[in-house]
Structure 1
Amino acid sequence: MSPVLVNGKFLTQKMSGVQRYASELIRHYAAINPDVTLVAPAEGQLNSLYNMPCNIITTGSKAGLLWEQWQLPRFAAKQQQLLLNLCNVAPVMYKNKITCIHDIAFIRYPQFFSKAFYYYYKSMMPLIIRSSKHIITVSEFSKAELMDYYKLRDEQISVIPNAGFPMVQSVAAPMVQAPYFLFVGSVDPRKNLLLLLQAYSAAQLTQTQLVIAGAAYKSFNPELLQQLEQFKANPMIHFAGAVTNEELASLYQHAKAVIVPSLYEGFGLPVAEGLSAGCQVIASDIPIFREVAGEHAFYFKDKQTLTSLLLLLDKQDKRLNESGRDYVLARYSWKQSAALLKKTVEHI
């Protein structure tokens, strides 16, 4: 097999859905093509959570625009190797590359992003697409979105999906002893965490608590942060912040249900992770969640329906969602996605 370089900027970042996709896909791809090298910024602490099983080379300075658009492509040009970019952004001037674009949320919901982020992505994305040998994305939904907006042909883009969290029985003690619902994500406004908190408060539950797990709660939207802050006084709501892989596995393992209220996603990793852990899943009724979960989740379109579903599951004992687990494990696995990546690389 030909050697492959991977844009390893994500190794310096906190782990969210995009970074998890990159790390798990490369972890499994390296098992079938050992000649994989991650290229990371030389200045900056590598996040130990990733613990990648392949060669890592550092070059240039710290992560940022200069590193990704100048220092990384210069290094790749010297190696004359294919460069995989799995976190939306890629060096425009380096053409021997494959780029994964997870979604076009910044186009569909520009109000949820800072102006700087929006204009950077709006200007860069067409350049990245035109300069890439091939585009990959994470779902049929996102493929249709990209083909529609950027007028891509079917042969220019392939789907290499996410998969569920590699579930093993965690030995970590539950972070919350009482029955709880689980939200996994950031405070990105499109994740719609505020709606969940409002619905949970309206339900006035006394048995099932709510755990919010995800990256540090920062946002360019101070009004949203202020609205979220008022819920931290509720003793039934636990803001766990960033968690380790083992803690995340434990949270899924013991959750009564996983709640995913997003307005827009390219895939919806917590849906697949929740189902693969055998959890009940309550998800907003958007096309991508129907694609991932089929009929194996509860769906809602408004706060009232979400409140009713929380009340319904609050009264039930925790039960294994066997049909949902079997369904998602049969459709999605990192091993299958790695095989698709291998096929894509070989055909470039």
Structure 2
Amino acid sequence: MKIKRLGFDARLIGETGVGRYIKNLLLCLSLIDPVNLYFIFLKSNDLPKFNFRNPNFHKIALDVKWHTLGEQLLLPFILQKYKLDLVHFPYFNVPLFYPGKYLVTVHDLIIDHTRTGRATTLPFPIYLAKRLFYKLILIKALKRAVKILTISKSTKKEIISHYQIPEDKILVTYDALDSDFLRLAQKLVPKKYYPFDYLLYVGNAYPHKNLEKLIMVMNDPQIKQRVKLVLAGTDWFFYPRLKKMVDQLKLKKSVYFFGNASDKQLIDLYFHARALIIPSLMEGFGLPNLEAVCLGILPLVSDIKVFREIWGNSLLYFNPHDQDDIKRIIISALNLPKQKIKKLVAKAQTRIDRFSWQKTAKDTLLQYQKI
């Protein structure tokens, strides 16, 4: 079998979400493929942070910022220097003029559902132009890719429906638990940050996360008296809007902003939460649900297709558009006996084994070898 020269655009490895995907996939690929030559393109400051045992994995400094004109114009020339048989772009930001073969991972199609100015901090005309450019890149990436990977069947169906991509061109390779997160969870003695009962939300505050609706629910007297809300996520872009809303509703004693949490802090927060709550209108996979279930915490989640796909009927679902229904599920969860909660979590835990980085890496490598 011919030894292939494989490129992997890992510039986003330090970011949340897609960064975990890149890190875990590369780690597992390095354990199962000692043959093919890998050229891993990283930002200079990430080079010392990530090491691979196999000598066939080569780290290359690439300080070209993503979603820029530089990325579109410079990347094709840089990548061609390495005479690569295939490049894996783990995000849809593929250079329009790259002539070589590539595989792309699409995590979600949220871009197709955010058409208003609420989804940005930019002036609307600039946002509109930027969005159109991103859409052009996404369409080209999907049409020209030799294979498309996605992290759920729900996203696969959307790609087929929105862009008329043949079904056999798309392969579902699920997300899984971060290996470092698992190791840390097994040896930590959890620290308690708050002296009260709370629901935990983990993630960013983009409009599709539906946090404004959740905060409105926290303004209900029946909820306020029984439980608080803790929001854990990087304090940028849209969180300031939510803080302003909390101030206006005088909910400072009901809604708490933890800010960006390390894995250790996140485990602490999960461990002491009454439940995780995810009111998203759309998701690609929903990693916090997996983290919570792994730690024995019950998620309360939106009744959306991807969550049903991943979890079946093992979680507690609510209509994310209906404040009364969100309130209903919160009160229902607070009233559940501990034994019932344990039973529900145990049911959800039976589904965890379906998601492993080893399987995702094996399926991804098979695609590399086929091309």
| TM-score past 0.5 threshold | yes
Deviations 1:248-284 (A, max 9, x none): 2232233221111001112222222222322211111
Contact 2:66 2:93 in 1 (8 A): no
Contact 1:8 1:40 in 2 (8 A): yes
- Pick one of 82, 85, 90 that aligns with 2:94: 90
Aligned to 1:128: 141
Aligned to 2:331: 311
C-alpha displacement of 1:30: 2.3
- Pick one of 250, 261, 280 that aligns with 2:268: 250
* Larger CA deviation: 245-254 vs 300-309: 245-254
Q: Which has the larger radius of gyration?
A: 2
C-alpha displacement of 1:70: 2.9
Quote the RMSD (CA, aligned, Å).
2.6
Structure 1: give runs of 5+ residues left out of the alignment: none
C-alpha displacement of 1:92: 2.2
Structure 1 position 345 matched with structure 2 position 363: no
Structure 1 position 156 matched with structure 2 position 174: no
Contact 1:60 1:71 in 2 (8 A): no
Q: Percent identity?
A: 26
Structure 1 position 322 matched with structure 2 position 341: no
Aligned to 1:204: 223
* Larger CA deviation: 195-204 vs 287-296: 195-204
* Larger CA deviation: 93-102 vs 59-68: 59-68
Structure 1 position 25 matched with structure 2 position 45: no
In 2, Cα distance between equivalents of 1:237 and 1:285: 23
Aligned to 1:191: 209
* Larger CA deviation: 311-320 vs 143-152: 311-320
C-alpha displacement of 1:290: 0.5
Give the secondary structure class of the aligned counterpart of 1:173.
coil
In 2, Cα distance between equivalents of 1:235 and 1:222: 17
Q: TM-score, with normalisation over the residues of structure 2?
A: 0.82
Deviations 1:225-248 (A, max 9, x none): 643554685223221111112222
C-alpha displacement of 1:180: 2.2
Contact 1:59 1:71 in 2 (8 A): no
Structure 1 position 267 matched with structure 2 position 290: no
Q: TM-score, with normalisation over the residues of structure 1?
A: 0.88
Q: Does the C-alpha gap of structure 1 residues 178 and 335 become closer, same or farther in structure 2, counting only changes over 3 Å?
A: farther
In 1, Cα distance between equivalents of 2:193 and 2:39: 36
Aligned to 2:122: none
C-alpha displacement of 1:317: 6.1
- Matched residue pairs, number? 340
Contact 2:190 2:271 in 1 (8 A): no
Output the amino acid matched with 1:52.
Answer: F
Contact 2:28 2:357 in 1 (8 A): yes
Output the amino acid matched with 1:4.
Answer: L
